[in-house]
Chains A and B, each alone.
Chain A
Amino acid sequence: MHELSIALSILDIAAEEAKRLGGSVAAIHLRLGPLSGVAPAALRSAYGLAREMSALPKAELVIDEVPLVGYCATCTAERSPPSELELFCPVCSTPMPQILGGRELEVVALELEA
């Protein structure tokens, strides 16, 4: 259950940034990729717990699940593989070891109230 420590880190980042920017945190926007190693459902429930113990008990968590994107060397183009279990180009079937998007685990924005 590493989601709890992830949730606490998210809240720490938000509290730190809110202090710098001024205002109280109404919501935290998170970008999450399928290869981040963090399961959205587990994170949501861990976040519910973590929030209670944090300085931001009212901050909502908004998760933006981003797609998996790889680079196909044959097509010389960005392609979305069928799933993280099949990292090949959906057009020409070339394996895509190079992952361009899908590892995101990032606080991208805060909703701040005066």
Chain B
Amino acid sequence: MNATPRLVEVRQHVLKNNDVVARALRSRFDETGTFVISLVSSPGAGKTMFLETVLKQLRGQYRVAALVGDLATDNDARRLARSEVPVKQITTGAVCHLEAAMVRDALEEWKPENLDLLFIENVGNLVCPATFDLGENLRLVLFSVTEGEDKPLKYPTIFNTADVAIITKMDLAGAVEFDAATAHGNIHGVRPGMRIFEVSAKKGQGMPEWYEFLAAELRRHRGLSLK
């Protein structure tokens, strides 16, 4: 019996299985020219309202679909289905986040064809989804004016892994005395240079700028993936 254990270097990323699936998804999306956008936020930040508005706006112009992750109910999927674009629910059960394999399995069953844009709404949670790559091209983190300006400071990791911040429910900003400058400062503290949109999906405020940005990102992505 050898009393001293031997130390052997291994160097394996803990989420290598997820990353392998995410990379495969990303290259498949590249082949079909599909631009994939994921949405993360805390519960009640207005992800579903925002997404429903976006899907309605874009459906005439692009081939759009959405995957929506939820712990138990299909309420969100039913709400999104009102936008009349293809919507598929992923019920995660006790799992607090989506993983790449759940996206892969949902797509295999579903096979939405020739999409320009695929939206993936993650489970409402600002902690767990940060760690899991879903093969998306753009990750949006949403938070509402009613949640307070310090949200980025409470959840720096999710803000740091996201590409764009969307501040929602701007129509309520006055009522809750939302301090936009402080919110922007906090976002840029945890993610310097991050692009921020201030929107109200309900009233339409700030949405044109976001659509313009999305169209530019899609064009840029197509330019890169066709090379």
Size of the chain A interface, CB-CB below 8 angstroms: 38
Given contacts A9-B17, A99-B160, contact A105 B5 (CB under 8 A): no
**A110 B8 Cβ-Cβ under 8 A:** yes
List 17 A-B residue pairs with CB atoms under 8 Å apart, sorted by A's residue number. A2-B131, A5-B95, A9-B14, A13-B10, A23-B6, A30-B14, A85-B189, A88-B189, A88-B192, A96-B192, A97-B191, A97-B192, A108-B10, A109-B10, A112-B8, A113-B2, A114-B2
For residue B11, CB closer than 8 A to chain A, the reply is yes
Q: Flag the segment in B31-39, B112-120, B135-143, B150-158 that touches A.
A: B150-158
Of A2, A86, A110, the contact of B10 (CB 8 Å cutoff): A110
**B7 A38 Cβ-Cβ under 8 A:** no
Q: Which residue of A lies closest to B188 (CB)?
A: A95
For residue A65, CB closer than 8 A to chain B, the reply is no
The 7 closest A-B pairs by CB, nearest first: A95-B192, A37-B131, A37-B130, A2-B128, A111-B5, A114-B2, A97-B192
Query: What's the least CB distance linking B182 to chain A, in Å?
Result: 13
Given contacts A5-B95, A95-B192, contact A37 B158 (CB under 8 A): yes
Residues in B with CB closer than 8 Å to A86 are 189
Residues in A with CB closer than 8 Å to B189 are 85-88
Of A9, A17, A87, A114, the contact of B1 (CB 8 Å cutoff): A114
Which residues of A (14-67) have their CB < 8 Å from a CB of B? Answer: 14, 17, 21, 23, 26-27, 29-30, 35-38
**B14 A13 Cβ-Cβ under 8 A:** yes
Whole-angstrom distance between the alpha carbons of A113 and B2 in the complex? 7
Given contacts A23-B6, A114-B2, contact A106 B12 (CB under 8 A): yes
Query: What's the least CB distance linking B8 to chain A, in Å?
Result: 5
Residues in A with CB closer than 8 Å to B188 are 95
**B160 A84 Cβ-Cβ under 8 A:** yes
**A36 B131 Cβ-Cβ under 8 A:** yes
Which residues of B (6-23) have their CB < 8 Å from a CB of A? Answer: 6-17
Residues in A with CB closer than 8 Å to B128 are 1-2, 37
Whole-angstrom distance between the alpha carbons of A29 and B6 in the complex? 12
**B5 A112 Cβ-Cβ under 8 A:** yes
For residue B96, CB closer than 8 A to chain A, the reply is yes
Query: What's the least CB distance linking A82 to chain B, in Å?
Result: 10
Whole-angstrom distance between the alpha carbons of A1 and B94 in the complex? 9
Query: What's the least CB distance linking A21 to chain B, in Å?
Result: 6
Whole-angstrom distance between the alpha carbons of A99 and B189 in the complex? 13
Of A26, A36, A85, A106, the contact of B11 (CB 8 Å cutoff): A106
**B8 A84 Cβ-Cβ under 8 A:** no
Which residues of B (188-202) have their CB < 8 Å from a CB of A? Answer: 188-193
For residue B161, CB closer than 8 A to chain A, the reply is yes
**B157 A87 Cβ-Cβ under 8 A:** no
Residues in A with CB closer than 8 Å to B190 are 84-85, 87
Whole-angstrom distance between the alpha carbons of A85 and B156 in the complex? 6
**B7 A109 Cβ-Cβ under 8 A:** yes
